Structure 1
Amino acid sequence: MYINEDNRFWNIPGQFMKMKRPHKIPLSKEAMRILELIRPISGHREWVFPSIKAPLNHMHEQIANAAIIRMGFGGELIARGMRSIARTAAEESGKFRTEVLESALAHTKNNETIATYNRSDYLAERTDMMQW
């Protein structure tokens, strides 16, 4: 994935997304600091978390789930489930509109007419939400 350090965005190419559309994620100051700290560990490579066996490639997609199991949360949590935890917390805060929350998760609009005319990515509000 590609990090734009000047604008603090994680740009995910469509090939890595379920709906095959690129997705842009604003990164918090804290996330940028972590990325800065990990860069020397990852050897300044393209991938933030490189594969141990093939360092020019990214680590396996199931590594996060394996770590959750090793921490003792197997059967209770999966990496993808953290998205729902974060979304629920953001919604319950009352600070963010549903459209912003859904856009942050790269969810498409259910209504075809709305999807056709509303192409907003709510980036300014999502930036505030990610920093929150």
Structure 2
Amino acid sequence: MSGRPNHAPSVIDFQVGARLRGRRKQLGMTQSHLAEALGVTFQQVQKYERGANRVSASTLYELAGALGVDIGYFFEDAKPLERAADVEDDSMRAFVLSREGPELAQHFEVIGPKARKALLELARSMAEAVAQRS
């Protein structure tokens, strides 16, 4: 058990939401159009994308079909099932709920492995500089 309440989103919930949003935007699909394909409201799609609501197995299956991917797409780059520290969960939650987080994740997905690595190194350097000033 992770110790978090059953209703609290996990890192995986945020990742599935970020991958969902990235793919939907990549296809030029609106939240309303995806919601219609799933038989839910666009607000529900928003909640899935933010990781605020978990995606059930059957809905994940429908999402994969609507977005033209297999289910594994939503879990690419996921960490092993060992529970991440609560601090990581809090950081991921803050990232996904920030204004810039989902957009950054969308672009990060598209830029390729070399650029991702460079961007990660830049973020690390900036975080270290901020930490040293504190």
TM-score, with length taken from structure 1: 0.28
- Structure of larger gyration radius: 1
More helix by share: 2
Q: Which has the higher contact order (CA 8 A, sep 6+)?
A: 2
The two structures have a TM-score, normalised by structure 2, of 0.28
More strand by share: 1
